[in-house]
Amino acid sequence: MSSHSAETVDPGTAALWDYEHHGHDPISTRTLGFWLYMLSDAMIFAALFAAYGVYVRNAAGGPTAADIIHPVYAMWETVVVFSSVFAYGLGMTALKRGSRAGVINGLLAAFVLGLVFLGMEYKEFADLLAAGAVPQRSGFLSAYWTIVLTHGLHMIIGLLWMFIMLIQVMREGFSQNVVYRLINLKLFWHFQAIIWVCVFTFVYLKGVL
């Protein structure tokens, strides 16, 4: 039997609770708050996916999903998105090593790949406009434009945020504010990749069946 189990403790002097306030890790606290924001953002996308599921067959005599959706093209968009997330992940690995150059290179690569993705989406919607597949044409097109452009808007916000973080890393290094913003941006950027997987699956793949 362990000697610790045989020790006697005086209940009158035993400290059962720690009443001192030791503070909170500010980075963890702010990251928790950002998680709560992303939960609300996920609810917005859930509503958009539900609306798309209702209107996907409502073409009103106009172009259907099979007419305008190109899964192979969307697959290459998916490759670009995941490559951008991978590059950002390499930058965060460099952050753990304390390498400012590694973080900057990772952010730059992720930023460029994000721009490539937006360029591909721009071409896709320019083709839709040229074909007359505008949102007001049918319920399906309204839902399609809304869900894809909402994700694209989030990507634009992420790229603007990434550009600002590039400047802050170069100017300030790894201050507490810079580090927690990089962590939150990582969560945001990964979240956009997850949402795009849902868009690719339920819009580009399932939508053409």
Average pLDDT over residues 50-77: 88
- In CATH terms, the fold of domain 28-54+69-208 is Four Helix Bundle (Hemerythrin (Met), subunit A) (1.20.120)
Domain definitions of the chain by residue range: 28-54+69-208
Q: What is the pLDDT of residues 96-127, one digit of tens each?
A: 999 999 999 999 999 999 999 999 999 999 99
CA distance 202 to 17: 52
As a whole number, mean pLDDT of residues 79-98 equals: 95
Residue 60, burial from CB neighbour count under 10 angstroms (0-12, 13-18, 19+): exposed
Per-residue pLDDT tens digits for 135-166? 998 989 999 999 999 999 999 999 999 999 99
Q: Longest Cα pair distance anywhere in the chain, in angstroms?
A: 84
Identify the band that residue 51 occupies on the pLDDT scale cut at 50, 70 and 90.
very high
SS3 state of residue 195: helix
Q: What is the pTM of this model?
A: 0.81
Please tell me the distance from the alpha carbon of residue 104 to that of residue 108, in angstroms, as a whole number. 6
